[in-house]
Structure formats: C-alpha cells, structure tokens
Amino acid sequence: MRAWIDGELLPDPTAPAVRISDHGFTVGDGVFEAVKVVDGLPFALERHLRRLARSAAGLGLPDLDQAAVRRGVAAVLGDGELALGRLRITVTGGPAPLGSGRGDAPPTLAVVADELAPAAATTRVATVPWPRNERGALAGLKTTSYAENVVALAEAQRRGATEAVFANLAGHLCEGTGSNVFYVVDGELRTPTLASGCLAGVTRGLVLEWYGGVEVDEPIEVVRGASEVFLVSTTRDVQGVSAWDDRELPAPGPVTTEAAAVWAKREPELLGL
C-alpha cells in the first residue's frame, strides 16, 4: 500500500496520519472515490474526478483542488508497478469542532493505492429491509457516511451473499452497497434511473454507453421475473448474479456475457493519467 496525504507521501502508509478532530473521522463529513488501477494506470480517472467534485459540492465542501488530487494519484502510483489495484481518494471537512458544525481548517485530502483481488465471475445477492432514501441530502453522493452500507453488507454476508441490494423509499429497486444493478426482463436490459437515489456509478454509465440498456424505476419485486441479473462496479466490472435471495439464477447469462465481453474489449480506452 502507498498513501499520500495533504501533499506528502507517507514513509509508512500504516502510520497514523489524520487528526483525531478530522470531521471525516468524527462525523463522516467527507466524500471519496474508488478508482481501478490496471498495469499501473488509473481507469476512467476523469469521470471519477468529476464525480468527486459533484459529491464535494453536494456536501458543501470547498471546490476540489484537482491538481492536488492528480499529484496524489501520481505519487501513490509511483513507477506503475501495481498490476491490479484500487485507488482510494478521500476529501473530508478537515479538522473541526467535535459536533456537526464545520471548522475553518482546509479540507483533508488523502490518496491511497492498494492491491485489488480480481472479482469472482459470479456472486449471490441478498435484499435488505432498510431503504435507501432517494430524497435525503446525501442521495446520489459518494460520501464517507457509509455505515448503512456496512450494516447491510454484514447482513448479506450473514445470509451467504457478497452484496446487499436496497429498494428505495418508493419500494423501487435502487442499488447495492457498492454496486449498481442491471436485470433482464422480457429480453430487455434495464437498470434503475438516477432518480432512484442510486449512485451514478462510473461502470453503470459506461455499460449504458458501450452496451446499452433502458433506465427505468420499477418495484424491486420485478427482479423476481428477471431472466438474468448482473452487478457493475469499479471492483466487480460486470459480474453475473447466481442467486437473488433464495432464487437461483443462470449466471453469467447471455446478456451478462455479452456486456462483460464489450467491457473487457473497451476498458483499455480509458486507462491513463
């Protein structure tokens, strides 16, 4: 692992580096990105930086210093020896009083690079009873307030799955804790719209552009009639779903296989600093 924080590459990436009063640490006041690294190069960095800026603006954090983020990315990638990895870029409210109010200090900016294990070809998902709030202040933002995802994922893992899927307050299919969902009904590939409260996943956007699919919001029960389902995310790419709760599914199905092949073919186009 290599870690860079506020302009400095840490000699020991496991050493303490963030202040105890950092608002990201005390109240989860921060935003982040996870970026895939292939052969030492970041994937779709521009798209991730745009989303990071949107998330920061949504939280009311100061404008992102893009040049500083790029310096951090270059520093942790070093000589490009990471064959498959993940960058984690985090921006927080910085040191602040202990309550919810922000302080006057500048934001904290950290970039970390670490290895990433290749994703399994297929996975099992479990729906969880807690809704995503598509009307909340944080809807659609990639914030460090991820404890709801931690609780949901632990519940899914308890039930033998590797991802938890949420409906939203309207009862519509929304997203996973760290992934977007695609499903095939009547031969049509569908995924929830951004109005569902799901994150505008970089992988989701590229699958829609490169392969296609219809954006639609439907009750989560629609998936019971799906002929196939797949998850998409930075760490999973296109991953077939072999079981949804207690229903087994063919995985990877034909549409999933095609989408994954298009993904593998086009991924190199967006590798670079």
Ligand X SMILES: Cc1ncc(COP(=O)(O)O)c(C=O)c1O
Q: Residues interacting with ligand X, by CB under 6 A?
A: 34, 175, 178-180, 199, 201-204, 232-234
Residue whose CB is less far from ligand X, 59 or 202: 202
Closest approach of ligand X to the CB of residue 243, in Å: 20
Residue whose CB is less far from ligand X, 77 or 202: 202
In what side-by-side order are the strands of the sheet with 8-9? 8-9, 2-5, 108-115, 84-92, 30-38, 41-42
**What DSSP designation does 82 have?**
-
Closest approach of ligand X to the CB of residue 44, in Å: 8
Residue whose CB is less far from ligand X, 61 or 152: 152
What is the rounded distance in angstroms from the CA atom of residue 198 to the CA atom of residue 142?
A: 10
Closest approach of ligand X to the CB of residue 36, in Å: 8
How is 1-66 classified by DSSP, letter by letter?
-EEEETTEE-SSTTS--S-TTBHHHHH--EEEEEEEEETTEEBSHHHHHHHHHHHHHHHTPPPP-H
Residue whose CB is less far from ligand X, 34 or 271: 34
Closest approach of ligand X to the CB of residue 152, in Å: 10
Residues in the chain: 273
